Amino acid sequence: MSEKMKALIVYSSREATGNSRKLALGVKESLGEEFDVCNAADAPQFSDYSLVIFAFGVYHGWPDGDIRACMKRISRQNVGIMMTLGAWPDSEHAHNVMGRAEGLMDSCRVAGRFICHGRLDPALIERMKARKPGDPHAWGSERAERVNAAESHPDANDIQKAAEIFRSAWEKIKAPKATDFTERKAVLIAAFGTAQGNASAAYDNIEKHVKLANPGLPVFRAYTSGMVRRKIAASGIHIKSVAGALNDLVLAGFNSVKVITVQFMAGEEYHKMRRDIGAFNNSALGFKKIEITPPVLNTADSLQPLYEAVLSAIPAERKSSDAVVLMGHGNSHGRCDLSFIAAAYEFASKDPNIFLGTVEGRPDFEAVRSAMLAKGIKKAYLIPFMIVAGDHAVNDLCGEEPDSWKSRLESGGITCIGVLKGLGEFDAFAKLFAL
């Protein structure tokens, strides 16, 4: 049997009760060697398994903490849920918790579900009994009935029922799958977007190179920014969101899509986009196959090709004594700081007169300006370290206002020449997305 065709039971269990551990070990014993079992704190890579079953107790209306962490890191796999709780298993509360558990794994396919009673921690029972009348968790006859009913669970009958559910689910997963999938593929370029008409030339150039790299495939475009989409819609230009574009592709009969990520790094917009795409990563509701390309600044290995692409944006007349100032966007919460710092270090190690700063985050403008003044720089080329030359490039970088980078550098005696083109307008950079 291949390693892929194995199942895993992951449990999180409180020491005082051991409910989920008992259930998990019992189901494992019943189902045999095709099933591994482990504590959530020691969970291996889930991608090694064809089915992952999560066994947990309920605390404050949610799966236990260790299991929640596991659920958040699994994606696009077959999963199962085994839940124990002090409330009645068929109660609205139980079904709400089950829904929350499934919501943590929204890109996964739930192959089986099981809910049963689980005995309560004696210390918790004592705290309930100590509550004042009128408290929603105070002791009473109805609560006493539920606690007493849960005391002997999970029992042998619970374990047998759970084992039957997941044995059936496992047999379906192992059954040979039909191989008559005929791929109908499209390419979707997913970019932040721009409301500046001239700036869209960068996206047009990227799209040209993406089409050259994917001959015969239809290529579509989506913007992740709702603000940009609303602005351009007022002028009669309608570009869908990523979710909207994917929905159109599903309705048009496409079953496979390559999403080209037109972003510098895996920041906030990138993760929002991945969440939107996750809703379609289900063969019953969306696509049988989804491929998402990484941002251009993704790993240490991506720094060299990015540097070479940036060189193509530097005017040929630039002398080695002239500075090149690159303005990136950044993030005010510092989420992208390390990526920008790594890029700044890489570029400076190859050309000490290339300086990279950000509008928000670090390295900031003051760090760039101080370094330039310390070196006695007299002339600088200002280039947006951005895919499109939008508002930040036009105003914050090269604007005539006193607080623009150009004005502030010129006040220090540095002559500035603006290069108002997004990097996407240069072929060497656009080709980084042509995957």
List Cβ neighbours of 81 (8 Å cut-off, separation of 6 or more).
53, 54, 98, 101, 102, 110, 112, 113, 114
Residue 180 lies in a domain: no
CB-facing half-sphere around the CA of 190: CA atoms within 13 A: 29
286 and 366 within one domain: no
Residue 267 pLDDT more than 90? no
Residue type, 371: A
Span between the terminal Cα atoms of the chain, in Å: 35
pLDDT of residue 252: 92
Q: Tell me how far CA of residue 289 lies from CA of 49, 181, 184, 254, 304, in angstroms.
A: 19, 11, 10, 10, 31
Using an 8 Å Cβ cutoff, are 324 and 303 in contact?
no
pLDDT of residue 404: 95
Show the domain range for 398: 300-429
pLDDT of residue 64: 86
161 and 196 within one domain: no
Domain end position, chosen among 292, 323, 338 = 292
276 and 195 within one domain: yes
CATH number at residue 161: 3.40.50.360
Residues 270-313: tens digit of each pLDDT: 888 888 888 887 766 678 889 999 999 888 899 999 999 999 99
Residues 77-91: tens digit of each pLDDT: 999 999 999 888 988
User: Cα–Cα distance between 35 and 29 in angstroms, integer?
Assistant: 9
CATH number at residue 250: 3.40.50.1400
214 and 162 within one domain: no
Using an 8 Å Cβ cutoff, are 353 and 320 in contact?
yes
Place of tokens 């914050």: 396
369 and 232 within one domain: no
pLDDT of residue 194: 86
User: Which residues sit opposite 327 in a β-bridge?
Assistant: 357, 384
Residue 179 pLDDT more than 80? no
Least confident of 7-16, 121-130, 228-237, 391-400: 121-130
> How many residues appear in the chain?
435
As a whole number, mean pLDDT of residues 100-125 equals 89
Residue 137 pLDDT more than 80? no
Residue type, 237: I
162 and 42 within one domain: yes
What pairing do the DSSP bridges indicate for beta strands 379-384 and 354-358?
Answer: unpaired
330 and 232 within one domain: no
Residue 244 lies in a domain: yes
Domain end position, chosen among 264, 292, 320 = 292
Percent of the chain with pLDDT over 70: 97
Residues 185-214: tens digit of each pLDDT: 999 999 998 887 777 899 999 999 999 999
222 and 164 within one domain: no
Q: Is this structure's pTM higher than 0.85?
A: no
45 and 24 within one domain: yes
DSSP 360: S
410 and 310 within one domain: yes
Using an 8 Å Cβ cutoff, are 329 and 295 in contact?
no
Q: Which one, of 138, 119, 118, lies nearest residue 128 by Cα?
A: 138
Residue 3 pLDDT more than 60? no
pLDDT of residue 2: 43
Residue 328 lies in a domain: yes
User: Cα–Cα distance between 69 and 75 in angstroms, integer?
Assistant: 12
Residue 131 lies in a domain: no
pLDDT of residue 205: 96
**Strand blocks (E) in 70-147:** 78-85, 109-117
Residue 342 pLDDT more than 90? yes
Q: 119 in helix, strand or coil? A: coil
Place of tokens 């928000």: 360
Residue 145 lies in a domain: no
Count the domains in the chain.
Answer: 3
Domain end position, chosen among 242, 264, 292 = 292
pLDDT of residue 214: 95
Using an 8 Å Cβ cutoff, are 257 and 288 in contact?
no
Residue 141 lies in a domain: no
As a whole number, mean pLDDT of residues 228-244 equals 91
196 and 163 within one domain: no
pLDDT of residue 1: 39
pLDDT of residue 276: 86
Residues 394-432: tens digit of each pLDDT: 899 999 999 999 999 999 999 999 999 999 999 999 999
Residue 148 lies in a domain: no
The 3-state secondary structure of 4-59 reads CCCEEEEEECCCCCCHHHHHHHHHHHHHCCCEEEEEHHHCCCHHHCCEEEEEEEEE
Q: Tell me how far CA of residue 106 lies from CA of 74, 102, 239, in angstroms.
A: 10, 6, 26
pLDDT of residue 181: 65
Using an 8 Å Cβ cutoff, are 216 and 287 in contact?
no
User: Cα–Cα distance between 43 and 53 in angstroms, integer?
Assistant: 12
Using an 8 Å Cβ cutoff, are 108 and 75 in contact?
yes
DSSP 393: I
Mean of all residue pLDDT scores within the chain: 90
Residue 37 lies in a domain: yes
Residues 33-74: tens digit of each pLDDT: 999 999 999 999 998 899 999 999 998 889 987 899 999 999
306 and 239 within one domain: no
pLDDT of residue 390: 83
Percent of the chain with pLDDT over 90: 64
- Residues with catalytic annotation? 329
Dihedral, 110, 116, 117, 119 alpha carbons, nearest 10? -70
